[in-house]
Amino acid sequence: MKTPHRFVCLLLLTAVSTSIMADDDPYLWLESVEGENALAWARGQNQQSLEYLEAHPAFDSIHERALEILTSDDRIAYPSLMGGAIYNFWRDADHVRGIWRTTSLEGYRNESPGWDTILDIDALADQEEENWVWAGSGCRYPDYDRCLIGLSIGGADAAVRREFDLETRQFVEDGFVLPESKSSLGWRDRDSVFYGPAFSPEQVTDSGYPRTVRIWQRGTPKEESVLVYEGEQTDVASWATRFWDGDDYYDMIIRVPDFFSRHYYRYVDGEVRRIDIPSDANLVGMLNGQLLVDLKSDWTVGDQTFSQGALVAGPFESFEAGEPELTVVYQPGARSSITAVSTTDSTVLVNILDNVVSRLVRFTHEDGEWQQQALDVPELGTISVVTADDRSDRYFYNYTGFLTPSTLYEADAMADTHQQVRAEPAWFNKDGMQVAQYEAASADGEKIPYFVVTPDGFVANGTFPTLLSAYGGFEVSRRPFYSGITGSAWLERGGVYVLANIRGGGEFGPRWHQAALKENRQRAFDDLIAVSEDLIERGITSSEHLGIQGGSNGGLLVGAVMVQRPDLYNAVVCQVPLLDMKRYHLLLAGASWMAEYGDPDDPAQWEYISAYSPYQNVSADADYPKAFFTTSTRDDRVHPGHARKMVARMVDQGHDVLYYENIEGGHGGAANQKQQAYISALMFAYLHGQLASNSQ
């Protein structure tokens, strides 16, 4: 709870454009999300594609195994620490929509934790005859007596918010309740919340998120909530949160002018006071009065310059007074970065990537100086802090790798001790499999690292089917991970898996991300092309057996690369993508991503966007691989019109294309484990069908 709630457009998406004027676009009718004609078109495409994909000999066995993995009781029930107790949201075969449950810390350490169900979403959906999907909870610190529960219809970002009593296990009658919307709601105290309405055009920004911050008192209509801050129409959003440092709290308002800018204000005694940190820096927490700030660019204070990528800190009052008294907590090197910052009662935990391998370092503030110690955690894998307790130094972290099943540890940050409390079973046989890391030289000479996971019996003879995945945007780092589905559906069946750490991501800090922003977007595409060519040159695969996969921003990536270099690939999996870059900023949350891609209404920016926009550049004369596009009708972040229009255009141009639109599922593409298993089976059946050779 020390770390403030951060604005998440979560998993961060990609855009599309078109060189023709919107009025001349013959496929605009497909942007009508639930239009009768558009849905009829989608269902028709689904029928054709599903008949083809489900007929693949491997589909049924892949689907059955994926469902078994995703609903198994052997999965780790990841903890959330609240008030010394453990909370968990869980889905399985008997709880398709899921249950929210709790147990004691002592109980959680046992093989049978003795879970106590708080809320059953399946039962609630049946009772209310609504397609509820869990959309998270926010519980009131420090008492944890009331929570604000989010319930999405079909997996959309927009959600219903309801106040819930943890003691009675009931929704609060006449409590804080909001109908479905992208409104914000967060606790101040038991009888008031910060509220950002998003029900009408005048209440939202161009990106569709709340523009105002209000205080809503219990027992009063939300329409009578008191306005305390108002952002600009062109902003992404504004919201507020109360975060804590020990027994002290700070009411903070966060204005987001664009996706990578934050203006922080303290709200106190009816006044709004700006906190003096750079607009592109992130406030990532507090410890004993020290404000922690993650720098995205150099910051000069007085005669001292603090470098891009550093974690710095200083007394909160100095920032509020406009005279920050800064100290460097940690400065990453050229091939390292900070991926996450967490706090316990007396420490700051910093997750560091060194050449895409995780380390965990503890920092304490003693006698005005920051002391650091590398923590004793497993090496050569990916580490993620799952949850931390700000009333003790207890935290839980997860360790994983491509061939290492996830293992959960309970640890003490000050004592530097840990013990294993959970471990997933091996979902596939890794015997004979190998992991290697290589580098490819991109078009401008930059070295692009990538991981290669090879199956048993691999020989570098260019015949092995290979799936290459990347993201390359929004400073999101792609790290080694264990996937039972990828392992059983692909690696065990003779496939090679590759993960590329291209520019646009955050693997090497802000500079790696900023190298592919706006007019430099082509670098991300060049990086993926360079890795593809390097795989072929090394004999790991050949173009006949190489496929690429990406979702959201990664969907834009693989869509653009397919259009630019169709000769390199024989399969393309393009999921919940941005593809029409001319209109992306006009669709749903698209305006919030202009800091990443640029403004297509600006002729100078459209000039470079139009050069790569997949929807505008797809050609009837090109020989594209048989691509597979997926989207979701209920995705209210990236508009399903992107995938729909791209497929319609390609079909009309005479290309062979596969398409699947999930009628629910939100931006993740699937609303529950059964849907996720089905979509995974479709994807891997497609890949085996296209890339063949050694696959089974």
Kindly report the average pLDDT of the chain as a whole number. Answer: 94
Which whole number is the average pLDDT over 497-516? 98
The 3-state DSSP composition of the chain as helix, strand, coil percent (nearest 5) reads 25, 35, 40
Distance of CA 155 to the CA centre of its chain: 15
Q: How confident is the model at residue 692 (pLDDT cuts 50, 70, 90)?
A: confident
| Sign for the pseudo-dihedral over CA of 306, 309, 315, 317 | positive
User: Alpha-carbon distance 568 to 562, whole Å?
Assistant: 8
Beta-strand (E) ranges in 49-113? 80-82, 85-90, 99-104
Instruction: Report the pLDDT averaged over residues 570-594.
Output: 97
**What pLDDT is recorded for position 160?**
98
pLDDT at 663: 84
**Chain segment 205-231, per-residue pLDDT in tens:** 999 999 999 999 999 999 999 999 999
Residue that the structure tokens 């996720």 belong to:
676
pLDDT of res. 16: 32
Question: What is the spatial distance between Cα 513 and Cα 583, in angstroms, rounded to a whole number?
Answer: 24
Q: Which residues, in sequence order, are CB contacts of 147 under 8 Å at separation 6+?
A: 137, 138, 139, 140, 163, 164, 166
3-class SS of residue 318: helix
pLDDT reported for residue 665: 61
Mean pLDDT of 535-551: 98
Question: Is residue 16 within 8 Å of 578, Cβ to Cβ?
Answer: yes
The answer to whether 473 touches 525, Cβ cutoff 8 Å, is: no
The proportion of the chain whose per-residue pLDDT surpasses 90, expressed as a percent, equals 92
Backbone angles phi, psi at 178, to 5 degrees: -130, 140
Q: Which residues form the catalytic set?
A: 552, 667
Supply the pLDDT for residue 666.
62
Question: Angle at the Cα of 694 (from 689 to 696), degrees rounded to 5?
Answer: 60
Give the distance, in angstroms, between the CA of residue 234 and the centroid of all CA atoms in the same chain: 24
Find all residues with CB under 8 Å of 481, minimum gap 6, and list them: 382, 400, 401, 402
- At 644, the pLDDT band (50, 70, 90 cuts) reads very high
Amino acid making up residue 202:
E
Predicted confidence (pLDDT) per residue in 17-72, tens digit = 333 344 589 999 999 999 999 999 999 999 999 999 999 999 999 999 999 999 99
Contacts of 330 (CB under 8 A, 6+ apart): 310, 311, 338, 350, 352, 361, 363, 372
The separation between CA 687 and the C-alpha centre of its own chain, rounded to angstroms, equals 24
| Dist. CA 645–CA 497, nearest whole Å | 30
What distance separates the 2 farthest-apart alpha carbons in the chain?
A: 71
Residue 24: the pLDDT is 85
Contacts 24+ apart (CB under 8 A), 71-76: 71/673, 71/674, 71/677, 74/424, 74/425, 75/424, 76/398, 76/406, 76/408, 76/422, 76/423, 76/424
Q: Average pLDDT for residues 440-467, to the nearest whole number?
A: 98
What count of Cα atoms within 13 Å lies in the side-chain half-sphere of residue 572? 30
pTM here is 0.92
Asked whether the predicted pLDDT for residue 150 surpasses 70, the reply is yes
- pLDDT (0 to 100) of residue 672: 85
Q: In terms of CATH, what superfamily is 84-274?
A: Prolyl oligopeptidase, N-terminal domain (2.130.10.120)
d(CA 539, CA 677): 32
Whether 664 has a pLDDT exceeding 90, the answer reads no
In this prediction, residue 694 carries a pLDDT of 56
- Residue 469 CB coordination number (10 Å): 22
Whether the predicted pLDDT of 178 surpasses 70: yes
Please tell me the predicted confidence (pLDDT) of residue 10.
Answer: 29
Helix/strand/coil (H, E, C) string of 106-130?
Answer: HHHCCCCCCCEEEEEHHHHHHHHCC
The pLDDT of 493-497, averaged and rounded, is: 98
> In the beta sheet, which residues pair with residue 412?
394, 417
State pLDDT tens for residues 339-398: 999 999 999 999 999 999 999 999 999 988 999 999 999 998 999 999 999 899 999 999
- H/E element holding 49? helix 36-54
In 3D, which of 379, 496, 393, 509 has the Cα closest to residue 436?
A: 496
What is the reported pLDDT for 7? 30
Q: Smallest Cα–Cα separation from 468: which of 521, 543, 552, 381? A: 543
As a whole number, mean pLDDT of residues 285-290 equals: 95
- Tokens found for residue 630: 């997926």
Burial environment of residue 590 by CB neighbours within 10 A (0 to 12, 13 to 18, 19 or more): buried
By three-state DSSP, how is residue 216 classified? strand
Tokens of 460: 């570098």
- Whole-angstrom distance, CA of residue 304 vs CA of residue 69: 53
What is the Cα 414 distance to its own chain's centre?
30
| pLDDT exceeds 60 at position 695 | no
- How is domain 22-68+428-506+523-598+627-691 classified at the architecture level of CATH? 3-Layer(aba) Sandwich (3.40)
Q: What would the pLDDT profile of 74-126 be if each residue is shown by its tens digit?
A: 999 999 999 999 999 999 999 999 999 999 999 999 999 999 999 999 999 99
CA distance 271 to 267: 6
Domain limits, the chain: 22-68+428-506+523-598+627-691, 84-274
Which strands, in side-by-side order, build the sheet including 327-330? 282-287, 290-294, 311-315, 327-330
